[in-house]
Chains A and B, each alone.
Chain A
Amino acid sequence: MRSSTSSSNAEGFVRAVPRGNWPVSCVIAIVFVLLVTAVWELRVRGMGYRPSVNETSDLWARERSRLDRPGIDMVIIGSSRAQFDFDLKTFADYFSIEPPVQLAMPGTNPMQLLESVAAAEKFSGTVVLGVTPALWFVPEGMPVEQARQAVGRYENWSPSQRAGLALSIPLQRLFAYQNQEDLKLGELLARIPIKNRPAAEANQPPLLPPYFTGIDGRRQARMWEQCDFGSPLALEIQRRWLGLFKPPPPPPGVTPEELQQMFGAFIEANLERLRVAVETLRSRGSRVVFVRLPSTGTLREIELGMAPREAFYERMLAVTGAPGVHFQDYPELSDFDCPEWSHLTASDAVLFTQRLMPILENALVNPAPVHRPRPADPALSPDSAPDRGNDTVD
């Protein structure tokens, strides 16, 4: 549309303003938008949404920038399980420290997050690495891209973006409709059910789980109570995990053998990156500990197939020489269930963290040898953990 009714004269270029009572139009527009927004807010609250801080690269960057000042005692890295299942307050109370800086990020390969922490020269505290093996060894795609975006945002964080975050958090705490995960226009449009062409269906990205958590300004995630055991939401999320936790198709022209070789080489390279990052942290006096967090149901079976314990988790410990706590090795940690197979409920997260604390402390104080699974261990018998499949692998 053209936008010119203008002229040039001695005063320079002059734009014409169309005739009409524009202040009245402005008032009508403001009243309209306020009304519609209020109705929309009521509607989404009726659907069960509550105000929550949005999980964004800016929020991660803000937490990461806290490591640029000395005095931080503990940092958590990992993916969503480390964000849900660790209760920051319990950590703080047990170790008598400030709550750990939460740098885990949902759905990511945390390697880049760890490397960013390793590059924080003023940080020499403890690093707790939450392990979801299938994600730590994802070579590309959204899990890598999301982490890259977050680290990139931290590295190039402009004053304007900092101010934007500070201004937006109070609004997010006030209005439920500000939920970006589910209620953004793009997400709403994406939910319109229109059948895809059969050949196009296979190329669509897997659907992410719908909103089932709230987070606070320190990035502590708490599962929403509507995602309780057996709830329709929990079942829907279970279905979506099945789409997400599967290997991507091989690139065109690559045989399965070649793919296997490429992935093997990637794993070795990834383990080397892990070793270097942990070594860098240790050289500054940091302590590092791995924690394998619970998963259950069919998802657990899939994980067992995709990332056997010996080939992934155990190798992470062996390569880095860092201690690890595997939930399966401890009866008090292995009797938790996850409503949607992957994360603990809010109350279970607190209990899990409380039980974890003395084990974690012991692992940090006596880094090796850590508790290892023994076939004869009654705590590891299939009867004590019926949902968790083959207990000798992960």
Chain B
Amino acid sequence: MLFNSLTFLVFFAVLLLCYGVLRSWRMQKSLLLVASYIFYAAWNPPFVVLLWISTSVDWFAAKRMHIEERNGRRIALLCVSLVANLGLLAFFKYGGFALENFQNVVGFYGMHFEAAAPDIILPVGISFYTFQTLSYTLDVYLRRSTPSKSLLDFALYVTFFPQLVAGPIVRATHFLPQCLAPRRATRQMLSWGLFLMTLGLFQKVVLADTMLAPSAETVFGWDRGPLAMLDAWAGVLAFSGQIFFDFAGYSTCAIGAALCFGFSLPDNFKSPYAAIGFSDFWKRWHISLSSWLRDYLYIPLGGNRKGRVRTDINLMVTMLLGGMWHGASWTFVAWGGLHGIYLAVERWLRSRFAGARWVHTFVGKVLLGLLTYLLVNITWVFFRADTFTRAKLMIFSMIGVIGDGAQVLATRQLLTVAVVIGVLVIMQWVHRSISIEAAAERLPNWAHGLVWGVMLVFLVLAQGSDNAFIYFQF
């Protein structure tokens, strides 16, 4: 069920009403659990079984792991969890990709192997809930936390509908304690939660889908040769805004929806396009994934504790796998690889120019921030292009090495991209260190109500948009 659908609106209103009527905390949690299964089944009912497999395997594995003292047994239990979760992910997400690459490799050596094309439908959000449940088992294995005492609580943690299909990837240590005592949203929380949902939908439906997606689709869908430099850049900038508003919009909706039931979810974005450098960027973009990769991959690999070369290798491995997490395509791996290179180069530059004063001036920060944003846009080309050929053509068009590129965007689209992206970057710099809550507190009620109302009016005007969120496919 999409947040930006009428079905969800009715589902959410009915659920909120029923949740408010029930008095027993256990009943309320059960209601949320059933509703979450319905939410997921609304896409493809059989895939609910995957949630049950993930939930039951990790529940029993973690429980046994906690009481088991023998290390070998504990490792075996961890392997059961890893194989079950990553196995499902590998089958559904990477099966076709692996087969295609196998065929290419044997073909390279002159052999012919052609298997029937697998007709596998990717279950929505499988990468998100797989990583979420894995963090639980890994935390129990690493003795960072104890297993949940309640299967109901744990099932709700895995399935809680606001974050189920596109995050934030919530840690058990954040969520499970919230299940211990009854949670009821105050009128303040409910109103603020509804505001966040409106803001998230505005970002997704109005800014991403209506304002920016058409330009990005026109440019990346152009298959009749090179593009004019201006159009290529406008398309990439449009995509940078589209993917931010799409994904951040989902996260904001999820946070708002959870708040309406009294639950708190962590932030997933903190003004990423105002980042100064790439280590800063990854503290601001898809925070729940980057912190997951840091805690369960980068640090276990040795992090930065084993020398410069090893640190760079660890960074690269982490980012390549992070790229692969996004999709079964080498273009995503290239996207992750570019970020890995950026991070490694940044580490070197930081050590080389540690004493440079200009870096800490306002102008220096702004210049470095804009450079970061520029380089991030280069990576988006590989993220969005479906082939390396198209990515290469885009890059060449952007740096202007191919003359006579096609002008494909209407002036209206160029202006829209310029205004929306300009305002986005400026707003992110203004709010670089100010939370939305702090900004909201500065507004009088009437102004806040008006801003809210204007966003709702735009949503009413943009009616009928039921485009899926980009990150659902991951």
Which of B71-79, B109-117, B383-391, B459-467 makes up part of the contact surface? B459-467
Contact B180 A11 (CB under 8 A): yes
Contact B436 A20 (CB under 8 A): no
The CA-CA distance from A13 to B461 in the complex, in Å, is: 36
* B198: A residues at CB distance < 8 A: 29
**The residue from B5, B176, B225, B436 contacting A252, defined by CB atoms under 8 A apart:** B225
Residues 432-474 of B, flagged 1 when their CB comes within 8 A of A and 0 if not, give 1111111111010110111011101110111111100000000
Contact A25 B461 (CB under 8 A): no
- Top 7 A-B pairs ranked by shortest CB distance? A28-B449, A32-B453, A12-B177, A22-B191, A160-B42, A29-B452, A200-B407
Within residues 183 to 230 of chain B, which ones have a CB less than 8 A from any CB in chain A? 186-189, 191-192, 194-196, 198, 206, 210-211, 214, 224-225, 228
Interface size of B by Cβ–Cβ distance < 8 Å?
89
B265 adjacent to chain A (CB < 8 Å): yes
B2 adjacent to chain A (CB < 8 Å): yes
A243 adjacent to chain B (CB < 8 Å): no
Minimum Cβ distance to chain B for residue A196 (Å): 5
**The residue from B177, B228, B252, B464 contacting A10, defined by CB atoms under 8 A apart:** B177
Contact A15 B255 (CB under 8 A): yes
Contact A158 B412 (CB under 8 A): no
B7 adjacent to chain A (CB < 8 Å): yes
Within residues 146 to 177 of chain A, which ones have a CB less than 8 A from any CB in chain B? 158-161, 163-164, 167-168, 171, 177
A390 adjacent to chain B (CB < 8 Å): no
* A37: B residues at CB distance < 8 A: 457, 460
Q: A36-B460, A163-B6, A186-B462 are in contact. List 7 more A-B contacts (CB 8 A).
A: A22-B195, A23-B191, A159-B41, A161-B5, A163-B42, A178-B463, A200-B231
Contact B42 A159 (CB under 8 A): yes
> With A36-B457, A190-B412 given, is the CB distance from A184 to B174 under 8 Å?
no
Contact B449 A194 (CB under 8 A): no
Does more than half of chain B's interface fall in helix, strand or loop, or is it mixed? helix
> With A1-B271, A160-B7 given, is the CB distance from A195 to B266 under 8 Å?
no
B312 adjacent to chain A (CB < 8 Å): no
The CA-CA distance from A159 to B39 in the complex, in Å, is: 10
Within residues 30 to 75 of chain A, which ones have a CB less than 8 A from any CB in chain B? 30-33, 36-37, 40, 54, 56
* A40: B residues at CB distance < 8 A: 460-461
Residues on A close to B: CB < 8 A?
1-6, 8, 10-33, 36-37, 40, 54, 56, 158-161, 163-164, 167-168, 171, 177-178, 180, 183-186, 188-190, 192, 194-197, 199-200, 203-204, 251-252
B427 adjacent to chain A (CB < 8 Å): yes
**The residue from B206, B211, B427 contacting A1, defined by CB atoms under 8 A apart:** B427
**The residue from A5, A29, A160 contacting B435, defined by CB atoms under 8 A apart:** A5
Minimum Cβ distance to chain B for residue A135 (Å): 22
* B2: A residues at CB distance < 8 A: 160
Contact A32 B450 (CB under 8 A): yes
* A33: B residues at CB distance < 8 A: 453, 456-457, 460
> With A5-B438, A18-B441, A251-B224 given, is the CB distance from A168 to B460 under 8 Å?
no
Can you list 15 A-B contacts (CB < 8 A)? A3-B196, A3-B269, A4-B270, A11-B181, A12-B173, A12-B264, A18-B438, A20-B448, A21-B445, A23-B187, A31-B453, A36-B460, A40-B460, A167-B10, A190-B412
